[in-house]
Amino acid sequence: MKYREETIKILEKVTKLKKVQIDNILEVPPSLEMGDFAFPCFILSKTLKKAPNQIAEDLLKKLKPTKNISKIETKGPYLNFFINKEVLNKEVISKILKEKKDYGKSKPKKLTVLVESPGQNTNKPLHVGHLRNMLLGVSIKNILEAFGKEVHIVNVINDRGVHICKSLLAYKMFGKGKKPDKKPDHFVGDFYVKYAEAVKKNPKLEEEVQALLLKWEQGDKEVIKLWKEMNSWAYKGYAETYKKLNFKVEKAYYESNSYKHGKEIVLKGLKDGKFEKEEDGAVSINLKKEGLGQKVLLRANGTAVYITQDIYMAKERLKDFKFDEMIYIVGNEQEYHFKALFSIFKRLGYKFADKCYHFSYGMVELPTGKMKSREGTVVDTDDLIEEVYQIATREVKKRYFTLSKTEIDKRAKIISMGAIRFFFVKYDPIKNFMFKPNESLSFEGETGPYVQYAHARINSILKKCIDTGIVDYKALKTKDEQALISLLAEYPKKIEEAATHYKPSIITRYLLDLAQTFNEFYHKYQVLKADENVKGARIAMILAIKQVLSNGLGLLGIDAPKEM
């Protein structure tokens, strides 16, 4: 917004600081009574050898109001800048109503970003950890696109290895040629659970798994046939879950197609002296200088580890997409893995090493405890979606018992998916959080339905009025109206912050603040029964609020309903 830029230019002249320095410290005060922007003078104390309060007073003497900045005053060590509200009202509201869905978006930056998500193994359904991964991934993609970047979601499918062979062995033992009689990825997951139960009684099954893996690597026809069939069942199930979430992967990379190429890179690195051979025959890299110890790249028996395939896949992705940034969305238990991987990229001289970022996130906890996929007590994405949908259906029926079955179903889906998506991304990604289905669906509090309801409420108001198209922006004088317009003006900056820090939670916080401020305004003031000039201005303002709520929810992949 030009007001921030104008404030920065004013400060550049009198402080001799650079634009970026001022932009980094220029604050938005907690109250409009303290201005629209506040400059802390502490930063100048050392060079000017004066108290911040005195610096603020000295700077004020050099400053004059402008057409857009109507007032400048000091408050202790701060210089506070007040925007000309009449100019702001007109510019912000008219800009939103003109740009509509494009409001808040930046110009294209000609930068390509890859987002890796969700990175599942093909031996079980997608669990709630994958759900958090995907919802963060979609939000990051949408936010970065709004910030002007070209973004592609890619996936790594871990379709081979010991874990996959556990499911294969269990199917050979218990499946007896049976075909899926339920959602196919859940069918595959059942055999992973059966193996976990069987190995407790017979630990020698671990040796059989290793033997099966060896057969797979040797291309045994029977093993490969079963492996392909079980993987196809898993993929079919994932496609159904992706559809529910409107999640699209542009390109998937498979471990089975990558691990051999990864081994070749490692063996060449060994030959070139970048890696070293252990006494037992394993190949490793010394990362002690980086504080990461010794990292194995190939096991003593010559088999690859996860990091082996990641080295090759990164090169393939560069070839496919010529990316400027690559974001790996992977849980925080893999932090060491990615520190090591990026160090290996540097050791191999890959120029993209500094363009890679591990987007680390915490665990999803549920009232019943943490997820445990190997013991069969995992909470699957499909089950969680269904549970929240059923609760939402009951609530919609209770509130609107005259609705048709089709309309109840439609609203329940919109509300339940909004609840899940919002709840899963509203926390700082690095933190664990507990998902509470009933709380997530509340129409009050920090939830998706609360924001959706504000949008639906505005829609209901607008249905009852006739837009004359004449707006007297001077009529928007109250503090509550100014608070709303200031919030609307902040939206583009919030997208920039969320994109820069990879934090969708910045958008959820913003939407909650906007919805709450609107609700408080609506409880205090008339819209439809206000004087004509005030009414016209307020209608324009709430139209703008509705648009920004819709845009912001869209960044999170959430529908903005016309009715709730």
Q: What is the 3-state secondary structure (H, E, C) of 161-172?
A: CHHHHHHHHHHH
Q: pLDDT at position 374, please?
A: 42
Residue 304 is predicted with a pLDDT of 85
- Which range (145-159, 305-319, 457-471) has the least confidence? 457-471
pLDDT band at 32 (very low <50, low <70, confident <90, very high): confident
The CB density around residue 25, as the number of other CB atoms within 10 Å, is: 14
Helix, strand, coil percentages for the chain (3-state, nearest 5): 60, 10, 30
Give the number of other Cβ atoms within 10 Å of residue 99's Cβ.
Answer: 13
pLDDT band at 117 (very low <50, low <70, confident <90, very high): very high
Torsions phi, psi for 35 (to 5 deg): 105, 175
- AA identity, residue 126: L
Query: Residue type for 116, please?
Result: E
For the segment 487-533, what is each residue's pLDDT rounded down to a tens digit?
999 999 999 999 999 999 999 999 999 999 999 999 999 998 888 88
What's the pLDDT score for residue 377?
59
Q: What is the pLDDT of residues 165-191, one digit of tens each?
A: 999 999 999 998 999 999 999 999 999
Are 71 and 37 spatial neighbours (Cβ–Cβ below 8 Å)? Answer: no
Largest CA distance in the chain: 87
pLDDT at 131 over 90: yes
Give the whole-angstrom CA distance, residue 127 versus residue 237. 12
Q: What is the CA radius of gyration of the chain?
A: 28
Q: Return the DSSP state at 293.
A: -
Q: Can you list the domains of the chain with their CATH numbers?
A: 2-83 (3.30.1360.70), 117-375 (3.40.50.620), 381-555 (1.10.730.10)
C-alpha neighbours within 13 Å on the C-beta side of residue 136:
33
Above 60 in pLDDT, residue 442?
A: yes
Strands 283-286 and 356-361: unpaired
pLDDT of 143 above 80: yes
Nearest to 414 by CA among 244, 262, 249, 225: 244
At residue 443, φ and ψ (nearest 5 deg) are -85, 0
d(CA 149, CA 392): 36
Task: Tell me the average pLDDT of the chain.
Answer: 94
The reported pLDDT for the residue numbered 369 is: 54
- The CA distance from 57 to 350, in Å, is 53
Q: What average pLDDT does this structure show over 229-236?
A: 98
Residue 274 has pLDDT above 80, yes or no: yes
Q: β-strand 251-254 against 276-277: which pairing, if any?
A: unpaired
User: Average of pLDDT values for 128-154?
Assistant: 98
User: What is the phi/psi pair of residue 83, to 5°?
Assistant: -75, 145
Q: What is the four-CA torsion angle of 293, 299, 305, 309, rounded to 10 degrees?
A: 100
Q: Helix crossing, 306-321 with 335-347: angle to 10°?
A: 60
Question: What pLDDT is stored for residue 372 in this prediction?
Answer: 47
- What was the pLDDT predicted at 301? 83
Quote the pLDDT of residue 368.
Answer: 66
pLDDT, position 302? 84
Mean pLDDT of the region 119-125: 96
d(CA 157, CA 140): 20
Token pair 């506070």 is at which residue?
Answer: 80
Omega within 30 of 0 (cis) for the link into 118: yes
Q: Could you report the per-residue pLDDT of 88-99, keeping only the tens digit for each?
A: 999 999 999 999
Strand partners, 276: 284
Percent of the chain with pLDDT over 70: 98
CA atoms within 13 A on the CB side of 423: 29
What is the phi/psi pair of residue 535, to 5°? -55, -50
Task: Report the relative pairing of strands 325-331 and 112-116 from DSSP bridges.
Answer: parallel
Three-state SS letters, 222-253: HHHHHHHHHHHHHHHHHHHHHHHHCCCCCEEE
Q: What are phi and psi for residue 348, nearest 5 degrees? A: -85, -5
The side-by-side arrangement of strands in the sheet containing 283-286 is 276-277, 283-286, 294-298
Alpha-helix runs per DSSP H in 400-525: 405-425, 437-440, 448-463, 479-501, 505-524
- 3 state SS of 135: helix
Predicted confidence (pLDDT) at residue 549 exceeds the cutoff of 90: yes
What confidence tens digit (pLDDT) does each residue in 351-390 have? 999 999 999 999 998 876 554 444 455 689 999 999 999 9
For residue 31, the model assigns a pLDDT of 86
Q: CA 316, CA 199: separation in Å to the nearest integer?
A: 38
DSSP per position, 17-69: --HHHHHHH-B--SSGGG-SEEEEGGGGHHHHTS-HHHHHHHHHHT----SSE
Length of the chain: 564
Q: How many Cβ atoms sit within 10 Å of the Cβ of residue 280?
A: 8
Q: How confident is the model at residue 303 (pLDDT cuts 50, 70, 90)?
A: confident
